[in-house]
Structure 1
Amino acid sequence: MPQYLPSYNATPEEQLQSMTRPRRNAVDISALSTTTNTRVSRRNAVDYTSSLVKSDWWHANEEHAFVPRNFRLGNAPCVPFTPSERKQGGVAMTELESYQDLAFPSELVTSFLPKGWFPRQPFVQLSVNFPGYNHLKIRRNLFFFSPNGNPRTIQEIGHDIATIYRTFIQDNYAAFNPAEHHALRLGPGPNQVTFGHLRLVDIQLCDVSEGCEQWVADVTYVQC
Structure 2
Amino acid sequence: MLRGVPDLDALETLLCAPEIPDAATVQALWSDLSPEQQEDAAALALQQGHPRLALSWSASPWVRFPALLRLGEAQQARALLAQLSDSARRAVLEARASAQLREPQALTLAQAARSQARREGDAAALIAAATLLSELELAGGALMTALRSLAEGLKVAELTGAAADPHLLAVLAHVQARVGSPAKARQTAERALGRSLPRSPARVLALLALGRGDEARQEAQGGELAAVWWGWLEHLTE
Whether these two folds match at TM > 0.5 is no
Return the structure number with greater helix share: 2
- Report 1 or 2 for greater relative contact order, CA contacts < 8 Å, sequence distance ≥ 6: 1
Tell me the TM-score normalised to structure 2 length: 0.24
Tell me the TM-score normalised to structure 1 length: 0.25
Return the structure number with greater strand share: 1
